[in-house]
Every structure is written in structure tokens, then in C-alpha cells.
Structure 1
Amino acid sequence: MPDVVPLDGTGLTCAQVHDIAHGGARVAIASLDRARAAWVTAQELTSPVYGRSTGLGANRDVPLQEPGLDLLRSHAVGAGPEIPAARGRAMLAVRLNQLLAGGSGLDPAVLPVLARAVNDGFTPPVRTYGAIGTGDLAALATTALCLLGELPWRHDPATAAAPEPRFPLASGDALPFISSNAATLADAALACHRLRTLLDAAVDVAALSFTAVDASAEPLAAAVQEARPHPGQAAVADRLRGLLARASAARVQDPYGFRAFAQVHGAAVDALGRAAAAVETDLNAAAENPLFAGSLAWHNGNFHTAPIALALDALRAAVAQTAQLSTARLATLMDPAYTGRHRFLAERPGASGALILEYVAQDALAELRHLANPVTTGTAVISLGVEDHAGFATQAARHALRCLEPLAIVLACEHAAATRALHPQPPGHPLTADLTASLRALTPHPPL
């Protein structure tokens, strides 16, 4: 039986989003109380409310009667290829959880329908391009039209036949449904979860390389970590020190790929922790505009994703650095002065051996450097100047997803070279089956 993730607007994690996305978990609504309270407030208000009785953006001062369907039809426009079903399923789960946090004013009767869409394998035909970090309007408007029956859902034919999820969204439900960054947050959550598995595997790969060149474990000592107590650095050093379990070393000091591993990789672990915390805050936030709380509608800017974009910019830069150090260790593994083997780990003098791994790894590293370029240095001014800033967290999350493949390739190249350098392993070698589960992260995953 698949796991069940209870959703109530609190406690949803990146790992749970990943499990839901890939069909390993179903969702269950724990409580509709907060969503229902916001809906009651919205129904009782008679004052003008943005998007319910007015137009959007520069049309915020234009009174309209029932603008909802026009809003959905005009905003359900994206471009590029459709996103994979896993990302669509993650988006639906994230939006469902946000709506359960309350504040949207949406009719709560739609929420069980969204849950059924997730559990029965229905996803909307969302296109890749259409958001700039101030709301995934195109993606969620497309979803709304699927609920209304104006667009077809995508459905996995391997899943048991089920009726398409339908709900008659009212005009007042339109903006509350689409006023969210659920698609961006879903991508960010998936990226954070996968990057965590890769960064964990990188420590095991480094342990193989340390052993292959008989690198010193002295830089990993507890005394060294206590002198500069960054938590990620200390955790990485402690784990690697336990894997090595060795007292001797061939040299007084090793190249930076070994000597500074805990510092560089630990910084990436810390960056990942900060990014995941920012993402999980928003997974469980009522970031609605307007926000229905108490007896009022609060017009606000909680839709802006600056914290997410900044955290993901830092994470991608940290990933590029830790990958660069992997390629540095790979270069050391090609050097007879460190391995005692032939150049490039060849079987005989003059042969090329594993040299091509350096080309492959450097190609993947170049991609990571490109993806590390920050998105937060740019902005956009649209809607006649009313919407005069954008965070581009959508692009930051998309680039974080794209980091997964090249990072896995870089680490796989180091792993292949270190394994070759260690072959045959001496009897009783500590780095055997214990690393199997972690290193499985380097094998291909379903596309995202």
C-alpha cells in the first residue's frame, strides 16, 4: 500500500512532495476548517475586493461583474513543452496544501476534487514557460479550466479508469485558485530533495577518492572543525572521518580537492538546508492576495518569491563549487604521483585509460557553472508599470532541477575513477556494500 500524506496546511516537506510526485504516496485532507473560515469571510464582505469585483493588475480600479471566467481563459496561456506529469502532480499537491492553510476565500468544496486528481493520476497540460516568480498564473489557470471541463486532463493510462475531476468554479473562485506559486514551489521542493541525495552520495564518492590516493584525514579532525564551527562542514567531516577510519597518510598536505572538501561541501550542505527551509515555509504558507483573515480582506505582496529565489541562487552556486572540487579530485586520480598507478589509471604505459572521464566531467561542470548564474539580479516591469518587480524564483527552481543531471555525471566520473584506482580492493576494505544505497543516487532518475 502506498504511503498517505495528510495535508492540513502545515508540515508538508520537500521529501513528501517528491513522494507524491512520483506516485509513491497519496494525499488525504486532514481538515478543511481554515479554508472554510476564509471562504465564509469572503462571502460576507461587501467592500470592493481585488479580483473578485475588480480587474487585475493595471485594471485593479476597474469594477467588474463576475470577472472570473474571463480571468481564467485569458491567463491559461503558456509556451514550450508540457511539464512532466510528476511535476504537475507535485504542483497540485502543493496548491492543495496551501489552500488548506486558509486565507484564500476559495470554495472549500473544490479541495477534495483536487485531492482526487492527485490520487487518481490526473495532471493539467501545463507548459514550461509562463511565470516570473510573482504567481504561477498560467499553470493554475490551465488547471482551473481542466476542473471546469474546458481543457482535458492528462491521465496515465496505466492507472485504473476514473472519471475526470470536475468542479464548477464560481467567478469569485478564479483569482483565489490561481494566486499562488505552487508550480515554482513544487519544482523547488523536488530539486531540494534530489540534491540532498546527491550531496549525500558525494561524501561517499569522496571517501573512495581519499582512500585511492591515501589522502590525509587530518583536515577532518574534530579539533579542526571545532575551531571553525560551521554546521555543514562539521557534519561532512564527521561522516567522512567515520568512513575512512584510518590514521596514516602519504603526505603532510594534500591538494584542495581533499584538504578543503569539508569546507566546500559543507557550505553546499548548509546552502541546501537554508533553501529547503525557505521552500518548506512557503509550502505551508497562506501566501494569498487578497488574504481573507478575521473579518477582512488584506491586499498584500506575499505572492512575491524573493526568499525562494535568493536561497536557490545560493544553492546552485554552492553545487557548482562542490562539483568543481570533484573534478579536482578526478584530476588527482589521474596522476601516478598520488595513485601509484599508470597515468590516467591505464592498464599499461602510454594508454589513455580513464582520461576521457575528465572531458565528460568538465562538460557537465560547465553546465553547472552556467546554471549557477543568479536570477535575482534581473527584474521585470509589466501591466502598465503596476507590477514593477519580479523575483524569478520560477527560473531559479527550473535551473535547480536542471542541476541534477550534470551533478550526478560529475560525481559518477569521480566514482568510476576512484573505483578503478582501488581495484582490486584489499581484503576487509571498509568501503564496500555500506555505500551502495547512497551511490544509487548517481544512477538515472525519472525525468523532471
Structure 2
Amino acid sequence: MTTDITLDGTTLTCEQVRVVARGRARVALGSTAAAQAAWEAASRLQGPVYGRTTGVGANKDVALPEQGLGLLRSHAGGAGPLVDDERARAMLVVRLNQLLRGGSGADPGLLPALADTINGGFTPPVRLYGAIGTGDLTALATAALCLAGEIPWRRAPWSPPEEPSFPVSGSDALPFISANAMTLGDAALACAQLRPLLDASIGVAAQSWRAVDASGEPLEQPVQDARRHPGQARVATRLRRLLVPGPSSPRLQDPYGYRALPQVHGAAFDALDTAEHAVTTDMNSAAENPLIAGGRAWHNGNFHTAPVALALDGLRAALVQTASLSTARLATLMEPAYTGLVPFLAERPGASGALILEYVAYDALATLRHLAAPVTLGGAVLSRSVEDHAGFGTQAARACLAAREPYEIVLACELVAAVRARRQRGIAIEPPLDVLDGRLEDRSLEADIEAARAALPSLAADQPKPSR
């Protein structure tokens, strides 16, 4: 780890979460004044305060002198496999940033302990299942019990011998766990991982564009000026730069995989911007219940993940649309009417060539469609009907994380075919795509697909490519 990212409760980005979660940066604490003020205000409160002097959920009307650690112990029971260290660390980063924003009333002594946890490579053993978008209770309770010394941390190979600890009190229990830090951590990782893939999808499409001499007319400025969606204009501008000099096509109009690409991919970029905005807003908010502000406790529903869940549902649907266009372009690459080559880009007529790429791509696309099912259509009634709705942002974030692999595979299949077609047409292949196998005989294309997946990041860069 070579750099420090300062957390201040207001400026954390999805990309910063990804960098720290992967162990490529440390965190540093900004001002703790807001957290200190909320803690001091909470200690002076009189009367019932949810989760501090009462039970939680349906027990909200049961008076308790103090919750004690029983709340953490009872809520730490998740299920399923352990999430990987990257996701667990992302959760800790998000929760630390939220606590710095103020409003929870948790002991500010937690803040340096959490920073030491992140920087030391320690993560809590968080189970996959246990949240529905109304608070990541099981995951955060597990982290709190690790700090309290009741559950051992998982450690990285470079972790120091001494485990981080803090004497978590009963009054810190609900203030620490009443948040969606695991959901937001997953969502931040997903947004940070999907943006370069969406960028790469334009580079992949440019390869296909050249392979079939698709028309550049749908990209021209008058077309974009007539329909002013920002994502569409951004995609068309980038493709024009990648295709300099502009292609001349023998066809009056190309299939939608080319002609409607700015509209479809542009909508996906707009959806990603919307999702990233929703996630970033919540990571830098004091979405606490109760909120300690202005010298009192405000009981509220700011923990609800509806904005994030709806945005992530839209993002996954948009990804499916772009992947569908990728398979459509893949079909044109198999068709002599568009390439002027042997069917399936084979070495000779009757051979299978690259035929299997379509099967692989459609399998991945089917998985992507399955992951795009909207979670926001679901509902839940819990805790003796007191908690009668759920946002399911947790599931939306998980699905976005899972979408990365099938989306990569769809793009990789198109890229393998596009490079193969360009080679057969005698068009020079620029580095790093020139490392893709140029053999045309019938053979397994597994290595080709993996090589293309590895090359995708290079296509995210906005650099024009010569045509020949």
C-alpha cells in the first residue's frame, strides 16, 4: 500500500472504495468533530431513544436501561459462505466514512480502531446472507464483535500480530449496526468495476465496426444534436474518435448492433452515472436511525435503500441491452454478407471456425438477463409486522457484482471474432490485441476468450486506432 485516502464523511468515491478494498491504499482519518459532537449529544439525551433505551423492531416500546452486547450477539447470525476479504474491507471503509459524517452517536474511539483494522488487513468473517436493504445487521454486528474481541478477525498475510480491538459498549451497538455499509460497499465495487467494462465495450464495438465496414453515419453530430441524451452523445463522440478516418459502408443502413449503439450504450452510461450518484450519496450520508442532530434524536427511515436499489436495477437492465447488441454484432461477424469471408470466420467452407463463440456469448447473456431481474418488485413483512417493507438494495448490489463475469465474456467473444475477421481481411491489428491467436484451423477457443478478457482494460482507453 503506497497511498493514503483521507476519509472525511463527505467525499468518498466508488473508485476509492475499490482501491482500499483491494489493499492498494491506506485510509487516513479526517476531522472527527462531527462524530464527537453526536456522541456527546447522545450522552445527554433524556427519554426513550430507539435502540439505546428501548428494544429494537417490535420491541421498540420495551424500555431497557441499556441494550448491552446482547443486541450484537443476537444479530451476528448470518448464513452461507463467507464473503471475500475485498467485500468485507469495502464494508468497513464505507461504515468508517459514514461514522465520520456524524449522526450515529457511536463512541468516536471506534474510528481509529476501524482505520487500524482496514490498514492492518483485518476483516470480519461476514456471511453472505442476512440483509434485505434495511440495514446490514448481521455483517456489521459481526464486525462489532470482532472489535470487542468476541469473534476472531480474518487476517491478511501482511497483517501485524496484534489484532485491533475496542471496548464496544451496549450504547454503541445499534449506532454501529444500523447502516447499509455492506450493501453500499458491494455497490461501490460493482460501479467501479463496471465502468471500465462499459468503456471497453465501445472499444470492442469499434473493432467490429472496422471488420464489417459499418457506416459511421449514425455517429455524426447532426444525429446526436437531434436527440440530446448525454450518454448517447458521449458514446458517439468516442466512437468517432476511435474510427478516424470515418468508415465508408457499402450498405445504406446497418443492423441495430451498429446503428443503435450510441442510443443503447449511451443509456447504459447514463444508468451507471445514476447508480454511482445514488451510491456515493449514501456512502457520504448520516443515514442513521435514530439520527443524533441538533441536540436530539430523530427517529426516521433514512436507512431504506430504495434509491440505491432502483438505480442498480436500472443499471443491470441497461447492461443486458448493451450485451444483447454485442451478440447481434457477433452474428454479423459470422455472416459472409457483412464480412465477405467464409461463414463463421472459418479456415475453409464447411469448417466450424469461430461458431462456438455465439453459444458461449448467449449462455453468458442468459446469465446476465437472469441477474437483471428487478429486486425492487419484492416485499417483506418482518418483526411482527412493524417492519413492513424492504428495499432489497443488498440483493441489487450482489447482482451487480455478479454481472461482471458474464458481461466480460460476452464482450470477449465479440472481440475474438472481430480481431479474427480483421486479420482475415488483411487489416493490421494493433497492440495489445495483436497477441490474440491468429490461427484459423478448427481448435478450442478457450484460451482466445480468456486472452480477450485480459485485453478488455486496454480498450477502455480513449485512443483512436488506425484502420489499416
Q: Tell me the TM-score normalised to structure 1 length.
A: 0.96
The residue aligned with 1:84 is 84
Q: Relative to 1, partners in 2 of residues 1:349 and 1:441: Cα closer, same or farther, differing over 3 Å?
A: closer
1:58 paired with 2:58, answer: yes
Partners of 1:344 and 1:55 in 2: CA distance: 66
Partners of 1:13 and 1:440 in 2: CA distance: 25
Per the TM alignment, residue 433 of structure 1 is displaced from its structure 2 partner at its CA by 5.0
Per the TM alignment, residue 161 of structure 1 is displaced from its structure 2 partner at its CA by 2.5
Q: Relative to 1, partners in 2 of residues 1:222 and 1:432: Cα closer, same or farther, differing over 3 Å?
A: farther
3-state DSSP of counterpart to 1:360: helix
Instruction: Check whether the contact 1:122–1:155 (CA below 8 A) recurs between aligned residues.
Output: yes
Partners of 2:84 and 2:250 in 1: CA distance: 49
The residue aligned with 1:97 is 97
Instruction: Check whether the contact 1:6–1:29 (CA below 8 A) recurs between aligned residues.
Output: yes
Partners of 2:202 and 2:357 in 1: CA distance: 19
2:107 is aligned with what amino acid? D
Per the TM alignment, residue 247 of structure 1 is displaced from its structure 2 partner at its CA by 4.3
3-state DSSP of counterpart to 2:379: coil
Structure 1: 5+ residue stretches without partners: 444-448
2:238 is aligned with what amino acid? R
1:205 paired with 2:208, answer: no
1:415 is aligned with what amino acid? L
Instruction: Check whether the contact 2:253–2:259 (CA below 8 A) recurs between aligned residues.
Output: yes
The residue aligned with 1:370 is 370
Per the TM alignment, residue 381 of structure 1 is displaced from its structure 2 partner at its CA by 0.3
Alignment RMSD? 1.6
1:147 is aligned with what amino acid? L
Give runs of aligned pairs for residues 378-417 of structure 1, distance below 5 A.
Answer: 378-417=378-417
TM-superposition CA deviations, 1:10-43 (whole Å, max 9, x none): 1100000000110111100011000000001001
Instruction: Check whether the contact 2:423–2:429 (CA below 8 A) recurs between aligned residues.
Output: no
1:152 is aligned with what amino acid? P
Give runs of aligned pairs for residues 2-401 of structure 1, distance below 5 A.
Answer: 2-156=2-156, 158-245=157-244, 246-401=246-401
Partners of 2:260 and 2:3 in 1: CA distance: 40
Partners of 2:168 and 2:194 in 1: CA distance: 37
Instruction: Check whether the contact 2:14–2:189 (CA below 8 A) recurs between aligned residues.
Output: yes
Per the TM alignment, residue 65 of structure 1 is displaced from its structure 2 partner at its CA by 2.1
3-state DSSP of counterpart to 2:347: coil
TM-superposition CA deviations, 1:355-391 (whole Å, max 9, x none): 0000000000000111111001111000000000000
Partners of 1:333 and 1:397 in 2: CA distance: 34
Q: Relative to 1, partners in 2 of residues 1:441 and 1:136: Cα closer, same or farther, differing over 3 Å?
A: farther
Instruction: Check whether the contact 1:13–1:280 (CA below 8 A) recurs between aligned residues.
Output: yes
TM-superposition CA deviations, 1:278-302 (whole Å, max 9, x none): 0000010000000000111100000
Give runs of aligned pairs for residues 429-448 of structure 1, distance below 5 A.
Answer: 432=431, 440=454, 442=456
Sequence identity of aligned pairs in percent?
65
Q: Which moved more, 1:2-11 or 1:92-101?
A: 2-11
Per the TM alignment, residue 431 of structure 1 is displaced from its structure 2 partner at its CA by 5.4
Q: Relative to 1, partners in 2 of residues 1:33 and 1:439: Cα closer, same or farther, differing over 3 Å?
A: same
Instruction: Check whether the contact 1:243–1:431 (CA below 8 A) recurs between aligned residues.
Output: no
Flag as ranges the 4+ runs of structure 1 deviating above 6 A: none
Q: Which moved more, 1:59-68 or 1:91-100?
A: 59-68
Instruction: Check whether the contact 1:49–1:297 (CA below 8 A) recurs between aligned residues.
Output: yes
1:181 is aligned with what amino acid? N
Partners of 2:161 and 2:21 in 1: CA distance: 19
Structure 2: 5+ residue stretches without partners: 436-451, 458-468
Instruction: Check whether the contact 1:6–1:28 (CA below 8 A) recurs between aligned residues.
Output: yes
Q: Tell me the TM-score normalised to structure 2 length.
A: 0.92
Partners of 1:96 and 1:241 in 2: CA distance: 43
3-state DSSP of counterpart to 1:401: helix
Q: Relative to 1, partners in 2 of residues 1:179 and 1:385: Cα closer, same or farther, differing over 3 Å?
A: same
Count of aligned pairs between the two proteins: 440
Q: Relative to 1, partners in 2 of residues 1:441 and 1:98: Cα closer, same or farther, differing over 3 Å?
A: farther
3-state DSSP of counterpart to 1:28: strand
TM-superposition CA deviations, 1:125-173 (whole Å, max 9, x none): 00000000000000000001101111000001x2042311110011100
Partners of 1:435 and 1:89 in 2: CA distance: 37
3-state DSSP of counterpart to 2:109: helix
Instruction: Check whether the contact 2:230–2:270 (CA below 8 A) recurs between aligned residues.
Output: yes
Instruction: Check whether the contact 1:243–1:430 (CA below 8 A) recurs between aligned residues.
Output: no
Partners of 2:331 and 2:212 in 1: CA distance: 11
2:216 is aligned with what amino acid? A
Per the TM alignment, residue 233 of structure 1 is displaced from its structure 2 partner at its CA by 0.5
Partners of 2:64 and 2:121 in 1: CA distance: 36
